[in-house]
Amino acid sequence: MIFYLLLVSYGICFGLQNKVTFLRGKYAIIDSMLVCTYCTGFHSGWITWLLANTEQLHDLWIIDMVLFAFGSSAFCYAIDTLIRLIENYAGEITIQDDET
């Protein structure tokens, strides 16, 4: 379940950084957050935690949420770094047309 939530968090992080263009250019603090995968991963982590735990809030929920957010930020940073490394070493994909 935790791995699933971390993948959801990475999906939100990727979406915020690369697909949600209306957030860019309005505020400098949002622009600087969206450049940093660690920062965006933290914020996507607490959003994911809230979405997953809306029915089970208890006395220590804020501690659990912050801990998950930090774990999410580290996970998002590690996955993003791994994907960038793979993209740097992957060759260009070419498709040959076999029509003759």
Residue 46: pLDDT above 90? yes
Domain limits, the chain:
2-86
pLDDT value at residue 64:
87
pLDDT value at residue 4:
92
Average pLDDT over residues 42-61: 83
Average pLDDT over residues 65-80: 94
Residue 93: pLDDT above 80? no
Question: Which residues in 65-79 are b (16+ Cβ under 10 Å) and which e?
Answer: beebbebbbebbbeb
Average pLDDT over residues 54-63: 73
Across 1-5, 34-38, 77-81, the highest mean pLDDT is recorded for 77-81
Question: Measured on CA atoms in the order 54, 40, 81, 92, is the torsion positive or negative?
Answer: positive
pLDDT value at residue 42:
95
Residue 91: pLDDT above 80? no
